[in-house]
């Protein structure tokens, strides 16, 4: 995966029999996914232009992808993550970050001790959680990605400062 692309969605399956797909959008405005195209597969081997056909079909968006004309072709793409070129995405305010930019950052406690690195960013509906692993934590640690727990994100320095709540260490 090229670092110049950001995951903006995934194909959740087919919709109907004429090659439409159900898209799960990871964009703050789900319909924006169609404006960031072409969208690429993770390995960059395929690209698709996206035309939205239906809003909010079974928890996703209905869409047509260029080159996908049959249900079988749409079914074969189920689970495929879709990536947009970073320069097609909007700039973010200083206090917002793309998940891809957080993964791999070093996490330190407020005293400067290294806890580990960000492995993933999860959101199960109640807000973002950073998954951290490294020598400074036992196993893997999930911490809320809130200003109270993560007061500093310094992308240029490649680090995050975390003020872990008591009992999370």
Rounded distance between C-alpha atoms, residue 97 and residue 167, angstroms: 27
List 5's β-bridge partners, or say none: 85
pLDDT class of 1 with cuts at 50, 70, 90: very low
What are the start and end residues of each CATH 2.40.30.60 domain in the chain? 5-88
Average pLDDT over residues 64-92: 93
**Residue of higher predicted confidence among 94 and 46:** 46
- The SS3 assignment for 71 reads helix
Question: Within a 10 A sphere around the Cβ of 147, how many other Cβ atoms?
Answer: 11
Which class would CATH give 99-162? mainly beta
pLDDT class of 169 with cuts at 50, 70, 90: low
In the block, residue with structure tokens 């406690």: 109
Integer angstrom CA distances of residue 64 from 13, 73, 84: 12, 11, 17
DSSP 8-state code for residue 73:
H
What are the start and end residues of each CATH 2.30.30.240 domain in the chain? 99-162
- CB within 8 Å of 116: residues ≥ 6 apart: 106, 107, 132, 133, 134, 135, 136, 137, 141
Ordered alpha helix ranges (H), 18-103:
71-76, 99-102
* Reported pTM: 0.77
Average pLDDT over residues 90-112: 89
Rounded distance between C-alpha atoms, residue 67 and residue 153, angstroms: 41
pLDDT at 81: 94
pLDDT at 17: 85
CATH 2.40.30.60 for the 5-88 domain, yes or no? yes
pLDDT at 125: 74
pLDDT tens digits for range 111-131? 999 999 999 998 877 788 999
Which run of H or E residues covers position 85?
strand 81-85
Average pLDDT over residues 58-71: 89
pLDDT at 99: 87
């Amino acid at each position: 995966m090229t670092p110049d692309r950001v995951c903006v969605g995934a194909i959740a399956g087919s919709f109907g029999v004429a090659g439409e797909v159900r898209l799960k959008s990871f964009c703050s405005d789900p319909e924006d996914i169609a404006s960031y195209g072409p969208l690429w597969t993770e390995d960059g081997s395929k690209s698709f232009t996206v035309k939205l056909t239906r809003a909010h079909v079974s928890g996703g968006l209905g869409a047509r992808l260029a080159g996908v004309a049959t249900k079988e072709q749409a079914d074969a793409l189920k689970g495929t993550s879709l990536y947009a070129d970073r320069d097609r995405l909007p700039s973010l305010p200083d206090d917002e970050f793309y998940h891809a930019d957080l993964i791999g950052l070093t996490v330190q406690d407020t005293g400067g001790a290294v806890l580990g690195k960000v492995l993933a960013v999860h959101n199960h509906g109640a807000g973002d959680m950073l998954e951290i692993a490294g020598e400074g934590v036992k196993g893997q640690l999930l911490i809320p990605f809130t200003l109270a727990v993560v007061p500093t994100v310094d992308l240029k320095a490649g680090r995050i400062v975390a003020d872990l709540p008591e009992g999370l260490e």
